[in-house]
Amino acid sequence: MTTERNAETAPELVLGPMLRYVGETEATVWVETDRECQVEILGRTAPTFEVSGHHYGLVVLDGLAPGSETEYRVALDGVVRWPLPGSEFPPSVLRTLSQDRPVRLAFGSCRVAEIAPRNLSRRVREQAAKEQAAAGTCALNAEAATLAGVPRDRWPDTLLMIGDQVYGDEPGPATREFMAAHRQRAAAAPVPDNAVAPDNEVADFEEYCALYREAWSQPAVRWLFSVIPTAMIFDDHDVHDDWNTSAQWRAEATAKPWWGRRIESAFQSYWVYQHLGNLPPAELATDDTWGKVRQQGDAAPVLADLARRADERAPGVRFSFARTFGAVRVIMLDSRSRRVVDGTRLIVDDAEWQWCTDAVAGDWAHVVLASSVPPLLPRGIHTLEAWNERVSGGAWGRGAARFGERQRQALDLEHWPAFGQSFIRLERLLGEIATGQRSPAGRPPASLTIISGDIHHSYLAAVDLPKHIAGAPSAGTAADGAIRSAVYEAVCSPFHQAMPPKMVTAQKLASSRLGGLIGTAISSLAGAHIPKMRWRITEGPWFENMIAVLEYNGTTARVRFDRSRSDEAGTPRLELARAARLT
């Protein structure tokens, strides 16, 4: 029995609870605690594991009823620590999937933290207020406020977070304050560390932990994550701006004395805070890293080894994953850590691409391909990136190559068009899916949608695939080569971030017909690949904080984009920007 004395001395929650994987009969819940303890949820318990003095728990819940709704609490060593006393939000509830209701997938990317004012100095609170005013209203805060007031049957089944969950190269005021104190203590150590990252860059696992605390401590976000399952994949800012853009970028990064610890800490923290919860219980049971982590006293060496292998693109390391929601197949593709940046540039290496093509195979009503960087950009931007890859590769000589590399890094020319061979592979895969060549029954899905973020504006693009873009169907298949799927790309970015006005103007120019014509002419002169497929932006673009939702009901598919606003009282809310039917 819990006593007042027990409550005073019992462990505390640092972050969470976060619903991560939720299926029809099982789920996982993630927490961070302030010390070693037993975590209990709905009668199931799990011990915490340790990484560099920080403690985490992942509770696996099984035997749940499909389509059920169960309120839950979190107890640490028998003392209830969630819900928080005095919370303004409804109780946390776990909703399992059901075959009998529509599938709703919320998605988006790019979020700088909404800084909670408590425990911060006055100077940091003032700086946080300035940064938040520039970034506008956070879409996740607005989503939380909205969901708290609507029936649960209107809630999304999951939130797909497609990159830049944290900004390792742009930490917020709270993290910067922590970093200053942390580095002051390190400098006073008997053997000071001389390989210290710049003041505006997180340096080690300790500082990454502070970064995640800043990102996920806000009460509205904590409640949202406690009721809506999350699936996550990283992008560059989770590690460093322009991460794995090119061979030269990697050479410059690895030459810095502080980079080794930085990349190791980035992968360690990503595994703990983001990747672990992506895995369903069946995969957790056979995951080698998870098995080792639970056997260690301090699992930091296990994750350091994983980080080194991940940075080297070693075989057997994979952060991409697949989820199934009824007849909807979702592929979350790692478009960052498996890049090949020397020789034939690839946005994912051969092994990762083979996994993707295998994972998408099946008789699905709908297929969703999630990539942290969008394949189908406004035509002017697409052609600029394709041109830049050719020029940086030496198509116009060494001098032009050096210029191209500088522009690649300065302008973030690093999306799918800047990896021409991968773009060609993607064209073919989309054709194979849309013609039924990836279906054992030869039956293509009703819709095929790419979802993405990264570029700080949102839009919906309709895609036209020419017949036989994937080549003639293989002998013995039921597919006839005709395009039968509705194909779209939906980009939603940011959740909460600001874009300078000059960048907005440049993006609008590149998105114009004139920008596309000029870019096409220049890229053709450099010998860039001319896409076989065609796409056009049918909704947007919007340069605002947004969240999007895909909804599937039978063969019908819809998408909606909501912008975040604050009312006169400062309460965040969502406002419909556009809804569209895909099939």
Per-residue tokens: 314:
């070693």
The domain segmentation of the chain, as residue ranges, is 1-98, 101-581
Per-residue tokens: 136:
């506008």
Confidence class for position 267, pLDDT limits 50, 70, 90 = very high
Place of tokens 């999306």: 415
Q: Which long-range contacts (CB under 8 A, 24 or more apart) does 535-539 make?
A: 535/376, 535/461, 535/462, 535/463, 535/464, 535/489, 536/461, 536/462, 537/378, 537/459, 537/460, 537/461, 537/511, 538/460, 538/461, 538/462, 538/580, 539/459, 539/460, 539/578, 539/580
Note the pLDDT tens digit of each residue in 116-164. 555 567 776 666 666 666 678 999 999 999 999 999 999 999 999 999 9
Amino acid at residue number 236: D
- CA atoms lying within 13 Å on the CB side of residue 10: 20
Residue 257 backbone dihedrals phi, psi, to 5 degrees:
-65, -25
Mean pLDDT across the chain: 92
pLDDT recorded at residue 509: 64
Q: What does the alpha-carbon distance between residue 494 and residue 156 come to, in Å, rounded to a whole number?
A: 19
Q: What CATH class has 1-98?
A: mainly beta
Task: Answer whether residue 177 shows pLDDT above 70.
Answer: yes
Confidence class for position 1, pLDDT limits 50, 70, 90 = very low
pLDDT recorded at residue 58: 99
Note the pLDDT tens digit of each residue in 2-47. 545 577 889 999 999 999 999 999 999 999 999 999 999 999 999 9
Report DSSP state, residue 565. Answer: E
- CA atoms lying within 13 Å on the CB side of residue 34: 7
Cβ–Cβ under 8 Å, residues 380 and 461? no
What average pLDDT does the segment 511-523 reach? 65
Residue 116 backbone dihedrals phi, psi, to 5 degrees:
-70, 135
pLDDT recorded at residue 287: 97
Which residues, in sequence order, are CB contacts of 66 under 8 Å at separation 6+? 24, 25, 96, 97, 98, 99
Q: What does the alpha-carbon distance between residue 281 and residue 394 come to, in Å, rounded to a whole number?
A: 48
**Angle at the Cα of 70 from the Cα atoms of 66 and 72, rounded to 5 degrees:** 140
Residue 265 backbone dihedrals phi, psi, to 5 degrees:
-65, -35
CATH no., domain 101-581:
3.60.21.70
Note the pLDDT tens digit of each residue in 372-389. 999 999 988 899 899 999
Confidence class for position 506, pLDDT limits 50, 70, 90 = low
Q: What does the alpha-carbon distance between residue 510 and residue 490 come to, in Å, rounded to a whole number?
A: 18
- The pTM of this model reads 0.94
Written in H, E and C, the secondary structure of 508-557 is: HHHHCHHHHHHHHHHHHHCCCCCCCCEEEEEEEEECCCEEEEEEEECCEE
Helix ranges restricted to H, 85-190: 122-135, 139-147, 173-187
